[in-house]
Structure formats: structure tokens, C-alpha cells
Amino acid sequence: MDSRTEAEFAEFMRGRWPALVRLGYGLTGDERLAEDLARAALAKVYASWPRVLRADDPDVYLRRIVLNASLGKVRRRRERERRPGDEAEPETAPPARVDGDRPALVAALLRLPVGQRSVVLLRYWMDMTEAQVAAVLGCSVGSVRSQASRALANLRVGEDVAEEVLL
């Protein structure tokens, strides 16, 4: 890349970093893992930066990478948990907090199915429109609405986390 393109990417990265880490944290409940997801996503975007710039919305592309990467981490973690004879090390510290996020809210989000959690994080935590969420997730606006409705109902039922905490 030339210096102008490098500077353009650096500005893009600086502007997206906090939101990416926050999204990753909401998906995983772990600040270090969230930073790893953000770094990996930005590395992939850097590798194909000219193509990303031609996309309609580079942010959609970037968020989709974070979501897909987090799903891969969850799958690998589940596979490790299923191996007979392997015992996972117990967690010794509670998940880190990012930007004052409420630990109870993060814990409640982590209990949601991945699809519902993704919709809630993008729609309410990242303050995206239903159409933007649908574009990131590659689904219809109706699916976003139904997943959000189910997620909020699940949050109301579980651990007494009120809907207004999200809003």
C-alpha cells in the first residue's frame, strides 16, 4: 500500500477499535479475547483494504468478520470441552469490564443463543438500525425483529435483567 492508503487505513482502524472491542466483549465476555477478535478482524481488513473500500459499507464487512471469528472461537472452545480426559482450567477471575459495562448484563447476554446475542449487541449495544443489523448478519429485517423480540423475552425471564438496561 502507498502512504496515503496506509494513513487512510490507520484512521479507519483508530475510529473502529473501541466499537470492535466492545462488540467482541459482548460476544465473548472476555476483554482479552475481544481485543484478539478486533485485531484479527482489522488484520483481515488490512489484507484486503482496496477491496473493502469498494464495498458499500466497510463497517458491515468488519463487524461480520468479528461475528464469524467469535463463532469460530466458541466452536473451538466447545470442542475442547467435549474431549474426554481433558479438563478445562477453572476461571480464577471474573470477566473484565469494558467502558463500565454492567457485569450482570454481559452475563445475561452470554446466556442467550448466539443469533439472539448478535442481534441484541448490534441493535441495542452498537446502536445500529434493523436494516444495518440485517446487512451485517446477512438476514432479513424480519429475522432481526423476531430474534430481538425473543432475546428480550429471554432476558426478561432470566436473572431479572430488565429490558431498559439494554436501551
| Least confident span in 27-36, 60-69, 70-79, 118-127 | 70-79
Question: Using CA atoms, how far apart are residues 43 and 61, in angstroms rounded to an integer?
Answer: 13
CA atoms within 13 Å, Cβ hemisphere of 163:
9
Cell of residue 134, nine digits? 440485517
End-to-end CA distance of the chain: 41
Q: What percent of the chain has pLDDT over 90?
A: 45
What global pTM score does this model have?
0.71
Q: For residue range 26-41, what is the model confidence (pLDDT) as tens digits?
A: 998 889 999 999 999 9
Amino acid sitting at position 150? R
Amino acid sitting at position 97? R
Cell of residue 66, nine digits? 468479528
Q: For residue range 128-152, what is the model confidence (pLDDT) as tens digits?
A: 999 999 999 999 999 999 999 999 9
